[in-house]
Amino acid sequence: MIRRWLTFLGVVILPLILNAQSQNVEDQFGARPLGMGRTFVALADDGNAPYWNPAGMSFITGNERIATGMYSRLFMGIDNDALGEGFLSYLHHYEGFGSVGISLTHFYSNIYTESSFNLSYAVPISKKFSLGLNGRMLMNAIDEGGFVEGIDGPMSSDPLLDKSSIYGFTGGVAFMYKPQRNLSFGLNAANLNEPEMTWLETGDTGYDQEALDASKVPMTIRFGSAYTYHNYLTFALDFRYSNKEINGGNQFKPYGGVEYWFSNKTVALRSGGNPEEYSFGFSYRSKKFLDMQIDYAFIYPLTEIRKAGVTSHKLSLSLRFLPPPKPLFDLELVSEDMTIYPQNAIIEEEITITAIVRNIGEKAVDNYTVSLYYEDSEKGYVNAASPQFIDEKLDVDEEKEIVFKWTPYAKGTYQFFARVDDDGSVLPDFNSAIEEVDELNNEGSIKCRVFPLPEGTISPLENVLTVNELKLIREE
């Protein structure tokens, strides 16, 4: 009974497993890329990006947050076992930091499973170039109960089952370059450290290093390009290099695919192929209630497995979520809220200028700058006082009074300008720090007149003595 199970594993199940993974795990998931013949390294513009090319996450429009799930029934038509796989991923954009993707994969049969947990990161180097990184934990497991059913006694004597599960860690690096909006190039190098996923202990006798080397997950490099014509028709071409043969296959393989979206990009048809398989698929995307996309792929093997009449079907579901709208900042300083005293002053008399700053936005402001200047006929715009740096919180619908002092030293008519969060358009020394919804309500103005000190002397008008009354007094 034991040997029957081992024979079944070695002759029937393992070849199917190895063929299912012969494309390598990096290009095994996602109904949309698989429907295009596994040509996706230069597209990577949806929830499959964390696996196919993490760098593509930087170019997903609208900073969308995407959750994707896939289920696949592999090689339908075989007996005694059911092969399948699942995939879950979520990618999230962080402003000023980059994009992060988390994904889980699971390949299963009645007696064997492969799982992985993946953490991906992408950061734009420029508007046209992005860098991606990927870290992965691998776990393979054997269900010993599948071998020992109806058999008394343990199977620990069989070296194949010395361990029921094995773990490994690996990583990769990826790039994407988009010289034009409709042209892109991508590269994904995976399994750079080639982890050993062996069931054998390194100290076991009877197994040489060659057997251990054969258990290494091969390093693969996938690179390709994609061109989109009129935003609807996409042609993609990929090449994959593996540093060792997989199932006796070539180390270098080409892949080609085409995709066409129509009906306002709600329905798509795609097809593709490579030396090992032919595939086609379709998509339906609805934005009525949720931004939801369903992808389907049918894969027909061109290898020896096709003689068994088996095929693979893959189904994916993606949900796109726009990030919540950013709160709007808006500070207001207008002429109606400015006062000046005295409005008619004399030279060297201190003048007080007051302005009101209001927060009419949707979020509190922690710090901001208010400047005051006037226009001189000879010098141009001149600072009337040192700018005030307000380092305190101004909540929504709150206001703060800003007071400036200025002393004139020449007569004339002066027009003062007070500006909050100065953008430097008048005085280059300032630079706006707050991105506001309205930059036109940040400045107010007010005028005053300055007069010289009066000069004069006091003197009598005429040297004339006037007698108004004369009295005569006589004494006897």
For residues 89 and 313, give the distance between their C-alpha atoms in angstroms, rounded to a whole number: 19
For residues 13 and 323, give the distance between their C-alpha atoms in angstroms, rounded to a whole number: 44
Residue with tokens 């691998």: 138
Rg over alpha carbons for the chain, rounded to the nearest Å, is 39
For residues 300 and 276, give the distance between their C-alpha atoms in angstroms, rounded to a whole number: 9
For residues 102 and 87, give the distance between their C-alpha atoms in angstroms, rounded to a whole number: 11
**pLDDT value at position 211?**
61
For residues 84 and 114, give the distance between their C-alpha atoms in angstroms, rounded to a whole number: 11
Q: Is 97 exposed, middle or buried (0-12, 13-18, 19+ CB in 10 A)?
A: exposed
**pLDDT value at position 313?**
87
Query: What is the pLDDT confidence band of residue 418, given thresholds at 50, 70 and 90?
Result: very high
Of 67-81, 302-316, 438-452, minimum mean pLDDT range? 67-81
Tokens of 39: 């040509």
Of 103-117, 221-235, 330-344, 388-402, minimum mean pLDDT range? 103-117
For residues 238 and 40, give the distance between their C-alpha atoms in angstroms, rounded to a whole number: 7
Q: For 56-111, where are the E strands, in sequence order? A: 65-76, 83-94, 98-108
DSSP string, 294-324: EEEEEEEE-SGGGGGT-EEEEEEEEEEEPPP
The candidate with the shortest Cα–Cα distance to 175, out of 67, 91, 49, is 49
Kind and range of the H or E run holding 31: helix 31-35
Other CB atoms within 10 A of residue 126 CB: 8
CA angle 5–160–139, rounded 5-degree value: 100
Sign of the four-CA dihedral 388, 392, 397, 398:
negative
Instruction: Give the model confidence (pLDDT) of 245-295 as tens digits.
Output: 655 555 889 999 999 998 788 999 999 998 889 999 999 999 887 889 999
The candidate with the shortest Cα–Cα distance to 103, out of 49, 34, 141, 37, is 49
11 — phi, psi (to 5°)?
-95, -35
Three-state DSSP class for 333?
A: coil
Distances in whole angstroms, Cα of residue 301 to Cα of each of 76, 131, 306, 366: 12, 34, 5, 62
Instruction: Give the model confidence (pLDDT) of 429-451 as tens digits.
Output: 666 678 888 888 889 999 999 99
Instruction: Give the model confidence (pLDDT) of 6-49 as tens digits.
Output: 333 443 444 444 444 433 445 788 999 999 999 999 999 999 99
Q: What is the mean pLDDT of residues 204-228?
A: 77
Other CB atoms within 10 A of residue 460 CB: 6
The candidate with the shortest Cα–Cα distance to 282, out of 311, 306, 313, 309, is 313
